[in-house]
Amino acid sequence: MLERILLLSASAGAGHVRAAQAIEKAFAEIGAATGERQEVQHLDILNYTNKLFRHLYSKAYIDLVNKMPEVPGWFYDKLDKPWKNERRRLALDKLNTRPLVKLLREYHPDLIVCTHFLPAEIVSWLKAKERLSSRQVIVVTDFDVHAMWLVHHYEQYFVAIDEARAYLEALGIPAQKITVSGIPIDPVFAQAKNKQQMRAKHGLAPDRTTILLSAGGFGVGSVDALIAAMMPLQHRAEIVAICGRNEELKTRLSRQAARLKEDAPVTVKPFGYTNEMDELMTASDIVLGKPGGLTTSEALAKGLAFVIVNPIPGQEERNSDHLLEASVGIRCNNLPTLAYKLDRLLADPNRLKTMQANARKMGHPNAAKEIVERLIH
């Protein structure tokens, strides 16, 4: 019998969607290898909400992160009260997700995999009302489990780290319903590739420390200021600047890069939106920027040391804590000291190698595959 599987994400930031895409790819690869017959669909649930709600969840969120990051941070902490405000939040979500409810009831999949808390809450409510009998699993896409991920009707939680498992158990979630899988990333990140070959393929210097600067899939953040702060570096370095879909930023950085001399201590190589992030990470030594759940998990899988700058208050602050605690990264709180902190790190190669080894230990390159194997067996 053909099993119908529905993956539900939300394009509030790029990470939730990328996690679902990774699981979708793992389903396809494992299904092809084992002959398992499945109908797998991936939906962005914001396409099944009203226009105002969709705007608030996507564009307005990105604008706040850029202009007033303390606001989403305040909401994150204010709402992180386990099992509080559930009814009020559910009432609001039900009001704005009627097309999603209609779709779920009509399609009635066998299994629903949620990589965002909004659909998880709606599915849980439908299960409670016995209007849906689908199995639900929830894949948490940050290292901490925020209260909004907590629901009453589910079959399994997949979390990033052991501490998240311990936290859920302390809240009363049965141990057998929690799997520490890591955050699912594209299975391509599990493939071993040669650093020097990847540098040559993408036109990067073979003999410079390569620093990957990621602005995320939407190209948010003050990339210009970060690059300017790295210009006083004493060590020879090349900055790989990932601009996402921000074409204006890529054009601006390309002009800036062209003005730099080839023998300058610091050079810049801008990239637009790319599907080859695994290769650029393979080519790199350090990742610099904000520790979003997916980008962090990809970088850990590739054994990159972290330089954390301006994490978004809330989930990225907490992701930072875990990276620092595991001795995977350093944090720069004052941009004028960024070059100084990087120079100190690069002057101690053994420290850098230890951080990179710790990153590999913390990484879960096969998380998507492990999640799918657990679900189909």
Write out pLDDT tens, residues 115-155.
Answer: 999 999 999 999 999 999 999 999 999 999 999 999 999 99
Q: Which residue range is the domain that position 264 belongs to? A: 188-362
Q: How many domains does the chain have?
A: 2
In a domain, 51, yes or no: yes
Q: What is the pLDDT of residues 19-59, one digit of tens each?
A: 999 999 999 988 766 666 789 999 999 899 888 777 776 66
Low-confidence ranges of the chain (pLDDT < 50): 1, 217-220
Taking the CB of residue 309, how many other CB atoms lie within 10 A of it?
24
Question: Which pLDDT score, from 0 to 100, does residue 60 have?
Answer: 65
Q: Is residue 56 a part of any domain in this protein? A: yes
Task: Map residue 208 onto helix, strand or coil.
Answer: coil
What are the Cα distances from residue 74, in Å, to 32, 69, 97, 180? 45, 9, 25, 28
Asked if the structure places residue 334 within a domain, the reply is yes
Report how far Cα 70 is from the mean position of its chain's Cα atoms: 20
Do 30 and 54 share a domain, yes or no?
Answer: yes
Q: Residue 101 in contact with residue 125, Cβ under 8 Å?
A: no
Please give the helix or strand (H or E) that residue 153 lies within, else none.
none
Same domain for 260 and 136: no
Q: Are residues 161 and 52 in the same domain?
A: yes
Give the global pTM. Answer: 0.90
List the CATH number of the domain containing 149.
3.40.50
Residues 252 and 344 in one domain: yes
Residue 123 shares a structural domain with residue 48: yes
Q: Which token pair is 146?
A: 């925020």
**Domain with 335 in it: what CATH number?**
3.40.50.2000
Give the pLDDT confidence score for residue 71 in this predicted structure.
77
Is 221 part of a structural domain of the chain? yes
What backbone torsions phi and psi does residue 330 show, to the nearest 5 degrees? -120, 165
Same domain as 237, residue 205: yes
